[in-house]
Amino acid sequence: MPTLNRNVYKTPFSAAYWRTALEDFKRPRNLAFAALMIAACVALSYVPSIRIDFTDVYSASVTWGFLARSLCSMVCGPVMGVVFGFAEDTISFFINPSGVYFPGYALTTMLGNLIYALFLYRVRFGVGRIFLAKLGTNLLNVFLGSLWSAILSGKGYLYYVSTRALKNLFLLPIQTAILCILFAALTPILHQMDWLPSGGGWKLHGSNKKKEP
């Protein structure tokens, strides 16, 4: 089995970054990991959400699928993340259908996984990058999600933007904290299993002392 490409990158704006992402997309091990994350998304959809009432009128629910989506994007990269997003959204719908299938939601998931990967794949990251990644996905939920809801329901677009913006703003720090805990816990395990290069993943205490040979 080919060993893991050890490269890490400061930004995704290089040809080498995308070559590595394409290599990871072709790795059978990563395909298996993505399939496992699809199964995790389906399983997490059955975990009860946590409802939080923050006014007499508005409430928000913390659901759990973003954990598996962000983890897959961090490990497997943007190419796999986009393909994974389409497959996961479609499979999840047909396993647990709700209403009619609408491809716009698959597009939102695909773009969300791309955002996660651009901030978390092949880099050493901390709270700041996780916050920006989650901010990007929440903005997608606000603006694209509102568009799909307006198309399907016939209600005004601005109505959905206003309600979703408040909910996503409220959830942003909570989801960021959950992701920080998840990545801090899993980064050592992923390093040991050779899923991540030693320079990638959550900024572990003292990890900057490790150098590639």
The CATH architecture assigned to 15-51+62-205 reads: Orthogonal Bundle (1.10)
Q: Which two tokens stand for residue 183?
A: 């990545």
Q: What ranges make up the beta strands (E) of 42-169?
A: 50-53, 59-62, 124-125
Instruction: For residues 65 and 52, give the distance between their C-alpha atoms in angstroms, rounded to a whole number.
Output: 17
Q: Is pLDDT of 92 > 70?
A: yes
Report the pLDDT averaged over residues 152-168: 91
Residue 155 vs residue 66, higher pLDDT: 66
Are 85 and 113 in contact by the 8 Å Cβ rule? The answer is yes
Identity (one letter) of the amino acid at 41?
A: C
Residue 207 vs residue 164, higher pLDDT: 164
Strands 59-62 and 50-53 turn out to be: antiparallel
Q: Is pLDDT of 124 > 50?
A: yes
Instruction: For residues 102 and 105, give the distance between their C-alpha atoms in angstroms, rounded to a whole number.
Output: 6
Q: Is pLDDT of 43 > 50?
A: yes
Q: What is the pTM of this model?
A: 0.92
Per-residue pLDDT, 42: 94
122 burial level (CB within 10 Å; 0-12, 13-18, 19+):
buried
Report the pLDDT averaged over residues 74-96: 96
Report the pLDDT averaged over residues 14-42: 96
Q: Looking at 65-74, 97-106, 157-166, 199-208, which range is the least confident one?
A: 199-208
Per-residue pLDDT, 60: 84
Query: Percent of the chain scored above 70 by pLDDT?
Result: 91
Q: Is pLDDT of 207 > 60?
A: no
Report the pLDDT averaged over residues 71-76: 98
